[in-house]
Structure 1
Amino acid sequence: MTGRDFIIMMLCCLGWGGNFVLSSWIVGANPVPPFMLALFRAVFVLLFMGVFLLRPLPKKFGRLLLVSLCVGPIHLGLLYTGLQTAPASASSIISQALIPISSILSVLFLKERIGWIRSTAIVVSLLGVMIMVYEPGALAMDRGLVLLLLSYVALATGSVLMRTIPDVDWRQYVAWTAVLVFVLSLFTTAVFETGHAVAWEQAGWKLIVVALYAALFVSTFAHGQYFRLLQTYEVSQVIPLTLITTLWACLLGVLVLNETLYPRYIVGAMLILPCVWIIARRGAVPPVQED
């Protein structure tokens, strides 16, 4: 992976980590229905990126919609539903299932090869994440954890499918994903959620700030560049780098939310950082494309 793309991936992880902190701030302190928040986020994305819906449809448009469906509505639907009952620390651990699931799928369906050095780096970095987020008793069986696991199966499937649709503008992907998320969120929040007026009254500008941040830095920048990078590099090289998201989330939680800086955060970071660099450097660098 080139140095530029590595930095972009780290910034994507920063965006995702910041979203965890901001979402915890708004949803934890205010009674904001999660799909109401997702609806606001999708509306902002469509305001910024909706113009790309007017472009000619790509040749593999059906597969693009399938990717958007897996990464958007299916993943988010299962994720939001699972988070209603799943313990927070256990949810962080379950989310790391994305790495082995996507790696297995990439080997089976994309015929990717994962050498022993990259495999070792993935395992050690996963260990670092587990050290950072693990709390005794956190993995007690819960229906929400099963839904969370299924949500990351959907995300891994969509991520692998991204490799099969080259030459698609990432901005079209972002726009069409927002359309699907908008439809799902509108239906779900209207039918199953309540307290919208109270949430708006109590959250107000905070809801707008969080939704705007998620739209710009998560849906548009992070997800868009994630799509581009998965079209350029192997799945088994890109997805393990998302482990940095947990590191950013913990660091921002300490700096922004005044959370405790546990020693396990430092130990986990010391394991994750060098391994992520190894994972990024072990893959093949794509050829330079002429403009």
Structure 2
Amino acid sequence: MNFRDFMLLFAVCLVWGLNLVITRWVVADLGVPPIFFAATRFAGVALFLLAFLRPKPEDLRMLFLIAMFIGAVHFALLFLGLQNAEASAASITGQLGAPFSTLMSMAFLGETIGWRRGLGIMLSFAGVVLIAFDPGSFSISIGLVYITIAAFIGSIGGILMKRMAPIKALQLQAWVGLFSFAPLFITSGLLESGQIQSVMQGGWQLCLAWLFAVVGVSIFGHGAFYSLIKKYDISLLSPLTLMTPVWGVIFGIILLNEPITARLVLGSVISLSGVFVIAVRQNQRLPEASIVEKMSSGGS
């Protein structure tokens, strides 16, 4: 990989890592209802990418199902998780999309794995359990449970993508945004309150956070990553994208004053080691998994 493309990937991972921290700040510190924020984000994606809705994909029913799994349902759970968990821990837990995608490929697509990927899967989950479980109080972080379920839901979207004709990244983003925002607004109206008040109180800072999520993450981040996928083998790119959770931890500590604990450090090393092992050995049955994982862990 040439230096220019590496710096582009570096910038993408930085944006993705910062995104989780900003989202955590919006839904936890600013008090914006998480499902409502997800809805406004997808509405923005659909609006900004309106031109990419054409040409219309052939199988809109399948695309709608995919949008629910990697869009509406996934992000509702992810943002609920970020409301209840620190961004640094969420950055690591979000990487469970990689082992989940491998397990789903084994179950539904006949993917076979060797002992190395098997060990990687076990390490990935063991590290997250170490981060999420507090032995002092015998409790587990409900926020990280939400994020784990979100990672699993996103991996189902990857399996569904296997049944669909290939689609460009920004066109996929446009349709996911279009299909996702209305169900999320309806769900927010039923389950949440104070949406308008939170927007008024958030002011220009909330507007900047929303613009960063839509333009910085969904359009620049995923568009740039897809351009790199077309130039380089995914087995090279996937390990390098582990810069994303590292940035998430760094920004969480610096910007949100999140504590550095032994459990966080040890769990991160264990989990990311497992994810690295999985990343360097490409999913043969579901090469699209890496695209879905980055859309659903880095943000959409």
Q: Is TM-score (shorter-chain normalized) higher than 0.5?
A: yes
Which residue of the partner structure matches residue 48 of structure 1? 48
Distance in 1, Cα, partners of 2:266 & 2:142: 31
Which residue of the partner structure matches residue 216 of structure 1? 215
1:191-206 → structure 2 map (5 Å cutoff) = 191-206=190-205
Which deviates the most, 135-144 or 149-158?
A: 135-144
Distance in 1, Cα, partners of 2:7 & 2:119: 22
Distance in 1, Cα, partners of 2:205 & 2:164: 37
Which residue of the partner structure matches residue 58 of structure 1? 57
> SS at the partner of 2:134?
coil
CA 1:176 to 1:98, structure 2 compared with 1: closer, same or farther past 3 Å?
same
Which residue of the partner structure matches residue 298 of structure 2? none
CA 1:218 to 1:148, structure 2 compared with 1: closer, same or farther past 3 Å?
same
Which residue of the partner structure matches residue 116 of structure 1? 115
Q: Which amino acid aligns with 1:171?
A: L
Q: 1:32 deviation in Å?
A: 1.3
Unaligned 5+ segments in structure 2 are 288-300
Which deviates the most, 157-166 or 171-180?
A: 157-166
Which residue of the partner structure matches residue 73 of structure 2? 74
CA 1:217 to 1:139, structure 2 compared with 1: closer, same or farther past 3 Å?
farther
1:176-214 per-position Cα deviation (integer Å, ceiling 9, x unaligned) = 110122112322334443223321232111211221122
Task: Give the length in aligned residue pairs.
Answer: 282
Q: TM-score, normalised by structure 1?
A: 0.73
CA 1:82 to 1:282, structure 2 compared with 1: closer, same or farther past 3 Å?
closer
Q: Is the 8 A contact 1:237 1:283 kept in 2?
A: no
Q: Is the 8 A contact 1:243 1:272 kept in 2?
A: no
Which residue of the partner structure matches residue 28 of structure 1? 28
Unaligned 5+ segments in structure 1 are 287-291
Q: Is the 8 A contact 1:244 1:272 kept in 2?
A: no
Aligned-residue RMSD, C-alpha: 4.3
CA 1:75 to 1:278, structure 2 compared with 1: closer, same or farther past 3 Å?
closer
Q: TM-score, normalised by structure 2?
A: 0.71
Which residue of the partner structure matches residue 174 of structure 1? 173
Which residue of the partner structure matches residue 162 of structure 1? 161
1:1-291 → structure 2 map (5 Å cutoff) = 14-53=14-53, 55-80=54-79, 92=90, 98-132=97-131, 134-136=133-135, 140=139, 150-222=149-221, 245-271=244-270, 276-283=275-282
Q: Is the 8 A contact 1:45 1:215 kept in 2?
A: yes
Distance in 2, Cα, partners of 1:170 & 1:154: 19
Q: Which amino acid aligns with 1:256?
A: L
CA 1:139 to 1:156, structure 2 compared with 1: closer, same or farther past 3 Å?
farther
Which deviates the most, 132-141 or 15-24?
A: 132-141
1:122-153 per-position Cα deviation (integer Å, ceiling 9, x unaligned) = 43344444445553367747988776655443
Q: 1:56 deviation in Å?
A: 1.8
Q: 1:251 deviation in Å?
A: 1.5
Which residue of the partner structure matches residue 289 of structure 1? none
Q: 1:108 deviation in Å?
A: 2.3
Q: Which amino acid aligns with 2:61?
A: G
> SS at the partner of 1:106?
helix
Q: Which amino acid aligns with 2:33?
A: P
Distance in 2, Cα, partners of 1:100 & 1:62: 27
CA 1:26 to 1:146, structure 2 compared with 1: closer, same or farther past 3 Å?
closer
Q: 1:28 deviation in Å?
A: 2.0
CA 1:280 to 1:83, structure 2 compared with 1: closer, same or farther past 3 Å?
closer
Q: Which amino acid aligns with 1:173?
A: L
